[in-house]
Structure 1
Amino acid sequence: MNKFILSEINIYPIKSLGGISLQEAKLEERGLQYDRRWMLVDEEGIFITQRKHFELALLQVNIHDGKLSVSHKTLPEQSISFSLDEDTGERISVLIWNDTATALEVNKTVSDWFSDFLKLKVKLVKMPETEKRLVDRDYATNNEIVSFADGYPCLIIGQSSLDGLNEKLLAPILMDRFRPNFVFTGGEPHIEDSFKAFYIGGILFSAVKPCARCVLTTIDQQTGQKGQEPLRTLASYRTAGKKIMFGQNLLHQQTGVISVGDELVVKGWKDETQIKTNE
């Protein structure tokens, strides 16, 4: 009998910037506390992403003493910080894929810092607590809400899935290419595809949709350099409907605290017809 243990918890406070690894995290209604609560947008309010701006991988985020700080991974003198609860109070309409949401600019100085870095006029915005951005109704079960994440509150990947991929690659890659919230040990590669419902730390999750992967996975998160892998290799064995799948998007029914070392207890499994890859 496989035993699944939570081995990593990661949050990405500013969408498309560096993540933070935690030993313990609070799970809130819209996802892990501070995860994707901030985002860069252009002058039209459209979200800015590493998919087009590879250099965002070089910006590391940290949270300490009520402040969020951003620093350059190789030029640490390039940095800025602001209070977690800081904003201008001015409401801005923003676009994440096909979703429109309301956001608040943090402050002009911070926006100017990012504009200088990107050489593009942008604003750093945060999601107000009152905002209710809904999960796709085709997959939602109870009008769940989400942060500025692409579509779902949390993402999980098995460590064995990455290990299996790395066995096929000439040069191994790190898990940070896939930006999961949860990583677990135990089981064969892609066992998470079979999860239907499971508990972590007494909180019930459901795996509702495989995660389709994009060009962001080809960007080295330490250097900001783009290559062809792992998408080229993944395309040979992890495609479904012309999309490359790696990891599972999650919904959750409760809030609470989750810790590294918690056991993942599977409550229900998908049948073979619900698992969609050509593996």
Structure 2
Amino acid sequence: MSTITLSGLFVYPVKGARGITLDRAQATSLGIEHDRRFMIVDPDGEFLTQREHPEMALIETTIEGEALILGAKGHGPLRLPLRPEGPTNRRVRVWSDKCSAVFVGDEAAAYLSDYLGRRVELVYMPADAARRVDGRYARRKERVAFADGFPFLLTSEGSLADLNARLAEGVPMDRFRPNLVVRGAPPWGEDAWTSLSIGSVVFHSRKACSRCSVITVDQATGARGQDPLATLATFRARANRVYFGWNLVAEEEGELRVGDAVTLLARSYDEAR
């Protein structure tokens, strides 16, 4: 069996905005440190994503020390605290989950409202306000920030290569917005994984990741097409959903580095699959 390694690490501080490529990262109970702790919402607290607003892909994010820096076309950089303080009294919703968040402030709201052409706000989730992972898949009351449903998303270079071989024009991995990318596994081999370690951190697969129209958005331009979703639907669909990648939870915290060995473990959570 070929050696499997961690080939990519990514964090997305603002849900739906551009991510950051990392060489190393801290795996926490809520995901990669700082992952999706911020979210753009409308005045009613409903979350915005690239599904309806593909131009969100062009909102750049940078972390410098204790600052989050936003950048958007036609706008200068906006520097914000990486851990905003304030009352956790903004009621917001992610899918069917209602939770409380911190309003980041009028400056961020005005900046993003001007870029998106509609009134929005930026909110932040403190660790103590995190949501519970779907009880159908949780084993230890795992929590998640503003990610769709789970703390970590893993994808495989082998699976992407197989998909790209079926496309008229291949797509990069950023279409799938993963946190963890692995190299050296056979195409779709991750479907059989139940537990694995990356470096010293043990992860458990909880649910295959169903995909939506976000993967049709070019993350470099914000343009939308039909693929790779249309092609994936021809061979990776079941029960009217299309799958690419796996949602994971971590058993403990620890540092991850690109190049870390990935070890498949002989533990099983088959009932969660």
TM bracket, shorter-chain basis: over 0.9
TM-score (norm 2): 0.96
Aligned to 1:245: 243
Alignment of 1:104-115 (within 5 A): 104-115=102-113
Instruction: State the match for 2:10 in structure 1.
Output: 10
1:181 aligns with one of 179, 182, 207: 179
* Runs of 5+ unmatched residues, structure 2: none
Aligned sequence identity (%)? 37
Q: How does 1:143-154 map to 2 (within 5 A)?
A: 143-154=141-152
State the Cα deviation string for residues 217-270 of structure 1 (Å, max 9, x = none): 000000000000001110111001110000000011100111111101000377
Runs ≥4 in structure 1, deviation > 4 angstroms? 273-276
Q: Equivalents in 2 of 1:79, 1:172: separation in Å? A: 32
1 CA distance for matches of 2:151 and 2:160? 21
The reply to whether residue 43 of structure 1 matches residue 69 of structure 2 is no
In the superposition, relative to structure 1, how do residues 101 and 90 fare at CA in structure 2: closer, same or farther (>3 Å)? closer
Once the two structures are superposed, what CA deviation does each residue of 1:168-190 show, in whole Å capped at 9, x if it has no partner? 11111110000000001012111
Counterpart AA for 2:40: L
- Offset of 1:41 from its aligned partner? 0.6
**Per the alignment, in what secondary structure is the counterpart of residue 268 of structure 1?**
coil
SS of residue matched to 1:173:
coil
**3-state SS, counterpart of residue 143 of structure 2:** coil
Q: Secondary structure at the match of 2:91?
A: strand
The amino acid across from 1:66 in the alignment is E
Q: Which amino acid aligns with 2:96?
A: N
CA contact (8 A) 1:195 1:268 kept: no
Native 8 Å contact 1:135 1:151 kept in 2: yes
Residue of structure 1 in register with 2:67 after alignment? 67
Does residue 52 (structure 1) correspond to residue 52 (structure 2)? The answer is yes
For residues 111 and 88 of structure 1, the distance between their equivalents in structure 2, rounded to whole angstroms, comes to: 15
**CA contact under 8 A between 2:137 and 2:272: conserved in structure 1?**
no
Could you tell me whether the CA contact under 8 Å between 2:5 and 2:262 is conserved in 1? yes
Q: CA deviation at 1:76?
A: 6.6
> Runs of 5+ in structure 1 lacking a partner?
none
Tell me by how many angstroms 1:204 deviates. 1.1
The normalised TM-score by structure 1 is: 0.94
Partner of 1:261: helix, strand, or coil?
coil
What SS is found at the alignment partner of 2:246? strand
Q: RMSD over aligned Cα, in angstroms?
A: 1.7
Other structure's SS at 2:194 match: strand
Post-superposition offset of 1:275: 11
Q: CA deviation at 1:208?
A: 1.1
Distance in 2, Cα, partners of 1:253 & 1:69 = 31
In structure 2, do the counterparts of structure 1 residues 71 and 3 end up closer, same or farther at CA, with 3 Å as the change threshold? same
User: Contact (CA 8 Å) 1:193, 1:275: kept in 2 or not?
Assistant: no
Counterparts of 1:52-131 in structure 2, within 5 Å, are: 52-72=52-72, 75=73, 77-89=75-87, 91-131=89-129
Instruction: Please tell me whether the aligned partners of residues 205 and 247 of structure 2 are also in contact (alpha carbons under 8 angstroms).
Output: yes
Total equivalences in the alignment? 273
